[in-house]
Amino acid sequence: MSGNIDIHTKKRVLMIVANPGVSPTTGWPIGFWWAELTHPWWTFAEAGYEVDIVSPRGGDLVGDGYSDPEDQSGYSAADILSLGFKTSPTHAALLKGTRAIRDVDLAGYDAIFLAGGQSPMVTMIDDADLHGFVARAWEAGKVVAIVCHGTCVLLKTRLSNGDLLVKGKTWTGFANAEEAYADSFVGKRIQPFWIEEEAGKIEGTNFITSGPFKPFAVRDGNLITGQQQNSGAAAAELVVATLGR
């Protein structure tokens, strides 16, 4: 028997990565967080999955400065996985001219995976088309995985019956303690709102967190969420555990 993998049986994941924007609170250019794209991507690649990278509006994608392993801050200098992805012409090309979600047929995918970063809190939080796309994926029985600040979409994503997707669900996202640390680190308020704080205002949902900046992901049925930038691989591993290899 051949040891080759039948490409027609491969699982397929749609990674949705935030478009570039500008923070209304800091004035910084904002985008996706490198590790939240590259670490899950590698987990899926190792599992033999096919991965497509798209964005809400389409076009070229830009990483947050602090997440760039070549950034002068040195904040993510140890992230050699992102460095490899970023400096590989083949892989870097995956972030150029991305398709918009309006041009994506969900039927071809087993799961969607939303990466986080600084941009989602500005560009995704009120993107009704994106919220609708996530809701349709959920109602079609796809695995819906979201990490870090990308989980802000769960504050507003409603299903066709009008209920929030997170009604009755346990989930996680960037914690208040982590926001406070980040603000202290840069010496100013970074985010326009805090996800944990807003989740606490929603009745009938269970938002939980682990230790600050420790890998933490949780699965509730087909909903998988990761707490912050160190949780991307953990969330992706739960996707693989759910779908199989």
Tell me if 2 is assigned to some domain: no
Q: Residue 187 is encoded by which pair of tokens?
A: 């010496």
The answer to whether residue 177 is domain-embedded is yes
Location of structure tokens 């009755």: 168
The chain-wide mean pLDDT, for the chain, equals 96
Q: What pLDDT shows up at residue 245?
A: 85
Question: For position 102, which CATH number holds?
Answer: 3.40.50.880
Tell me the pLDDT tens digit for each residue of 23-48: 999 999 999 999 999 999 999 999 99
Alpha-carbon distance 2 to 11, whole Å? 19
- 7 or 89: which leads in pLDDT: 89
Predicted pLDDT at 5: 46
Please tell me the predicted confidence (pLDDT) of residue 211.
95
pLDDT for residue 1? 42
- 83-117 pLDDT, tens digit each: 999 999 999 999 999 999 999 999 999 999 999 99
Mean pLDDT value across residues 187-199:
97
C-alpha angle with apex 43: 40 to 48, nearest 5 degrees?
125
96 Cβ neighbours under 8 A, 6+ residues apart: 60, 61
% of the chain at pLDDT higher than 90: 96
Mean pLDDT in residue range 190-209: 98
Give residue 8's pLDDT. 56
Q: List C-alpha distances in Å: 143 to 57, 93, 163, 210.
A: 22, 26, 18, 22
Q: Which domain holds residue 52?
A: 7-243
Q: Is residue 73 part of a domain?
A: yes
Distance CA 148, CA 33 (A): 9
Measure Cα distances from 135 to 92, 111, 112, 126, 164 in Å.
Answer: 29, 12, 11, 14, 9
pTM over 0.85: yes
pLDDT at 52: 98
Which tokens is 51 given? 């991965």
Give, to the nearest 10 degrees, the angle between helix 34-46 and helix 80-87.
Answer: 90
What amino acid is encoded at 90 in this protein? T
1 domain-assigned? no
What average pLDDT does range 220-227 have in this prediction?
A: 98
Q: Which of 143, 155, 69 is closest to 112 using CA atoms?
A: 143
Mean pLDDT calculated for residue range 176-181: 97
In the chain, how many domains are there?
Answer: 1
Say if 41 falls within a structural domain: yes
Model pLDDT, residue 9: 82
Domain membership flag for residue 103: yes
